[in-house]
Amino acid sequence: MKGAAAREIFEAIGPDVPDVCLEKPNRVRKRDSDNFICMRLDGEYSCKFGFDLVTGKSIGGSIC
């Protein structure tokens, strides 16, 4: 997910977390044990998530 919706979610899900993959001023926020990740990279917002199609449970949608 990208754009305005991703920015709204990024702002809503709480504090930045340190991430070894990114350098400042880029920022990362995570929820649900890393299953939902939102990032601000070079001023652009995006959120990544995934679903296990067999169980229907959420899984991580991004890797470093």
Q: What local confidence, expressed as pLDDT, does residue 30 receive?
A: 86
pLDDT reading at 52 higher than 70: yes
Element containing residue 42 per DSSP (H, E)? none
d(CA 40, CA 35): 17
Average per-residue pLDDT for the chain: 85
Question: Tens digit of pLDDT for each residue in 12-33?
Answer: 998 888 766 777 788 888 887 6
Identify the pLDDT of residue 40.
92
Six token digits for residue 61: 């949608």
Which one, of 36, 64, 38, 63, lies nearest residue 50 by Cα?
Answer: 36
Neighbour-count burial for 12-47, b at 16+ CB within 10 Å, e otherwise: eeeeeeeeeeeeeeebbbbbeeebbbbbbeeeebbb
